[in-house]
Chain A
C-alpha cells in the first residue's frame, strides 16, 4: 500500500539505453494493456451504462426513496469504520512493530486473515457469534442491543473485512522509520504520548491516510458479508451494494449502474482529494 506510493514517486526508470527497444516497449505495453483491461474498460462499461439515459435520470435514480437511504447508510457506515480502523489499526501496527512479546509473529500473521477468507464466511461467522441465537447475541438483545440484522452488525462486519488495510499500510513505514529522533525526544524528557504525536505520527500520517482510503473504498463496496448480517430491509438496513445487486436481479440495469457510478465517483473523488492534499503539503514542505 504505502510501497505503491513510494514506487510511484521513486526514481523513474530512464536508463533503458542498454536494453533493446523491443523489450522497453514490450514491458510498457504489457503493463498498460493489463491496466486497461483490468480497470479502464470495465470502468468505461459501467459509466456508459450509468450515463446512458442522461444525468437527470441518474440523479432521480440515486435520490429515490429506497436508493438514497441505502446510500446514506453506506457512507455513514464507511465513515465510522474508516475512523475506528484508522485509529485502532495504527495502534495495532505500533504495538506489533515496537513491542516484543510472545506470539508476536503469530499475531502478525493473523492480521491478514480477513483478506484470506471469503467475506461471505465472515458474515456467517458474525451471525453465529452475535446472532439472536448465540449466547452473546441473546445476552445483548436482552439489554436492548441488537447487533446482527441492524446497523451495528453492518459496521462490525465492515470493521472485520477492512481490518488489515491500515495496519498493513502503517507497519512497513514504522519498521523503516529512523528511531534517532524518537530516542532523542525521550532523552530530552518527552513523554511517550508527546513523542508519538510529535515525532512518530507525522512520519506515518501519509501511510494512515492511504490505509484509511483503502478502508473507506472497500467499506463502500462490501457485499458478501453485508448481505448476510444486514437484514437488507429497504430504508432501514439495505446498503448501496446490496441495493445494486437487487436492481441487477430484477433486471433494472440502469438503476444498478446509476448507483455504481455514484459509488465510483465518491471513491475516486476521495482518492483524488487526498492525493492533491499530499501534493500540496509535500510541495509546501520542500
Chain B
C-alpha cells in the first residue's frame, strides 16, 4: 500500500510537470530519423539565450563538421529545482545544465548519473555569474549595496528560494556579504546577518516562482529594485530594456554545473553526442557564447578577452565560504536557518 501510494503521488507530480516535457520525452531522444540525431537538453531558465541562440547552433555545426551527422537538440527550460525533479521523475533528458550543484546531485542520488560529474573539467562548472541588484534607469534612489535595500518604503523583488533553487543564490549572496563584513553589519555576526535578511525581506513585495518571472515583473514596472543575476540584466538590455544594475561590493560567484545523464544517454544510445556536447561547453567558442549572453566564462582566456564586459567585484567569493550547499541547506534554509527565521519574523 505504502509503495502504491508513493507511486501514485509520483504520478500526480509527474502530471503536473507539464505536457510539453512528455511530448519531448515521447519523441525518444537520439533516434535516427532522416539521418539526423537527437539530443535532449534540460536547462534552467537563466542561460536560455546563451544555449538557444549561441551554443546549440555552434555545436550543431561542430558536430556536422566532425562526423557528417546532422543533429537536433531539443531544449527544455524551467526553474532549476523543477527541472531536476522532472528528470528524477522520468523526463529522459540526456544533458542537464542547471543552476546549482544540489540539483545535479539529486539526479545522481536517484542513480541516473553514474559517473563522478564533479571530476570533470572545472568541477563540472560550465559558466558563472554574480548576484546583483537591478535598479531603475539612472538609479534614482541611489541604491549602491545590500544595506541600501533595507531603506523604509523600498519595494524589492526577489524570487522565492523555496520554489526556485536559483533564488537561493540571492539569499546566500546577502547573508555571506554580511558575514564578510561588507553589508553594514559586524563581520562574522550571524545574528546581525540574519537581521539584515529580515530587514530586506520586510521590503520584499513579490516573491515569484522563479528568477525569470521575477525579473519580468520588474521589467513590467513593479518595484524599485530586484535581486537578480548579472546575466539576466545583460540579456534584458540586449533585448531593449533600459534599466541599470549595481554590483554590490561583496557578492557570490554563481556557479552553474552541467552533466550528462548516464542512464538516459545509454538508453538512447547517444553517449558520444552527449559527452561531446558537455565537453563543447568548455570550448573557446561556447565560452565566448556564454560571455556574449552575459554569463561570466570559466575559461581563463575567454575571461581575459571579455574582461571589459564584466564589472570587477571588490569581494567575490563562492559557496565554499558558507560551507558548501549541504551546509547552507541547514544554516540558511533549514528549519532553524537564517532565511527561515527571517521570513518568520517578517510581516
**Given the known A-B contacts A234-B346, A235-B346, are A149 and B8 also in contact in the complex, defined by CB atoms under 8 Å?**
no
Complex interface residues of chain A between 24 and 71 (CB less than 8 A to chain B): 41-42, 44-46, 48-49, 64-66
Asked if A152 is an interface residue, CB under 8 A from chain B, the answer is: no
Interface CB pairs A-B, < 8 A, 16: A44-B1, A45-B12, A48-B5, A49-B9, A64-B344, A65-B344, A66-B343, A131-B220, A231-B207, A232-B208, A232-B209, A234-B343, A245-B209, A248-B13, A249-B82, A249-B163
CA distance A235 to B347 in the complex (A): 6
B222 touches A133 (CB 8 A): yes
B203 to chain A, nearest CB (A): 10
Cβ-defined contact, A149 with B206, below 8 A: yes
B93 at the interface (CB under 8 A from A): no
Within 8 Å CB of B8, what residues of A? Answer: 41-42, 45
Smallest CB separation, B286 vs chain A (Å): 30
Decide if B207 touches A233 in the complex (CB within 8 Å): yes
Q: With a CB–CB cut-off of 8 A, which chain B residues contact A246?
A: 160, 162-163
**Tally of A interface residues using CB under 8 Å:** 28
* Number of B interface residues in the complex (CB < 8 A): 34
Q: Quick one: closest B residue to A246, CB to CB?
A: B162
User: How far is B81's CA from A248's CA once the two chains are assembled, in angstroms?
Assistant: 10
Cβ-defined contact, A232 with B206, below 8 A: yes
Tell me the bound Cα distance from A149 to B204 in angstroms: 11
Q: In the complex the two chains form, is A133's CB within 8 Å of B160's CB?
A: no
Q: B2: CB under 8 A from chain A?
A: yes
Q: At the interface, yes or no: B221 with Cβ under 8 Å from chain A?
A: yes
B81's contact among A66, A231, A249, by CB below 8 Å, is which? A249
B44-83, CB < 8 A from A: 79, 81-82
By beta carbon, the residue of chain A nearest B333 is A250
- Residues in A whose Cβ lies below 8 Å from that of B208: 232
Q: A231-B205, A250-B161, A250-B333 are in contact. List 13 more A-B contacts (CB 8 A).
A: A44-B5, A45-B8, A45-B9, A46-B9, A133-B222, A149-B205, A231-B206, A231-B207, A236-B347, A246-B160, A246-B162, A246-B163, A249-B85
B220 in contact with A133 (CB, 8 Å): yes
Cβ contacts A217-229/B at 8 Å (1 or 0 each): 0000000000100
Do A132 and B221 touch (CB < 8 A)?
A: yes
| A234 CA / B202 CA spacing, docked (Å) | 10
Q: Is B312 an interface residue (CB 8 A)?
A: no
The residues of A that contact B220 with a CB separation of less than 8 Å are 131, 133
- Residues of A227-275 whose CB lies within 8 A of B: 227, 231-236, 238, 245-250
Instruction: Mark A residues whose CB is within 8 Å of B.
Output: 41-42, 44-46, 48-49, 64-66, 131-133, 149, 227, 231-236, 238, 245-250
Minimum Cβ distance to chain A for residue B263 (Å):
21
Contacts of B79 in A (CB 8 A): 249
Say how far B327's CB is from chain A's closest CB, in angstroms. 16
Q: Is the CB of A45 within 8 A of B207?
A: no
Cβ-closest 6 pairs across A and B: A246-B162, A45-B5, A65-B344, A133-B221, A234-B343, A231-B206
Write the chain A residue with the least CB distance to B342.
A234
Q: Kindly state the separation between the CA atoms of A37 and B6 in the bound complex, as whole angstroms.
A: 14
Residues of B within 8 A of A (CB): 1-2, 4-6, 8-9, 12-13, 79, 81-82, 85, 160-164, 201, 204-209, 220-222, 333, 340, 343-344, 346-347
Say yes or no: A247 contacts B162, CB within 8 Å: yes
Assembly CA distance A234 to B207 (angstroms): 9
Give the residues in chain A near B344, CB-CB below 8 Å.
64-66, 234-235
Which of A46, A49, A227, A249: most chain B Cβ within 10 A? A249
Are B207's CB and A249's CB within 8 A? no
- Are A232's CB and B160's CB within 8 A? yes
Residues from chain B with a CB closer than 8 A to the CB of A48 are 1-2, 5
Across the interface, which residues of A come within 8 angstroms of B13, CB to CB? 248
> Complex formed: what's the CA distance from A124 to B199 in Å?
30
Question: CA of A41 to CA of B10 in the docked complex: distance in angstroms?
Answer: 13
Contacts of B206 in A (CB 8 A): 149, 231-233
Smallest beta-carbon distance A175→chain B, Å: 37
Q: B81: which A residues are within 8 A, CB to CB?
A: 249-250
Shortest distance in angstroms between A133's beta carbon and chain B's nearest beta carbon?
4
A233 near B205 with CB under 8 A, answer yes
Alpha-carbon gap, A13 to B186, bound state (A): 78
Residues A49 and B5 in contact, CB atoms below 8 Å apart: yes
Smallest CB separation, B20 vs chain A (Å): 14
Residue of A nearest to B9 (CB): A45
Residue of A with least CB distance to B204: A233
Q: List chain A residues, Cβ under 8 A from B221.
A: 132-133
Q: Smallest distance from the beta carbon of A68 to chain B beta carbons, Å?
A: 10
Q: Judging by beta carbons under 8 Å apart, are B162 and A249 in contact?
A: yes
Taking the nearest CB of chain B, how far is it from the CB of A241, in angstroms?
12
**A131 vs B85: C-alpha distance when bound (angstroms):** 32
* A65 closest partner in B (C-beta): B344
Contact A227 B222 (CB under 8 A): no
Known: A149-B222, A232-B208. A45 touches B162 (CB 8 A): no
In Å, the complex CA distance between A48 and B4 comes to 11
- CB of B222 within 8 A of CB of A132, answer yes
A131 to B222 alpha-carbon distance, docked (Å): 8
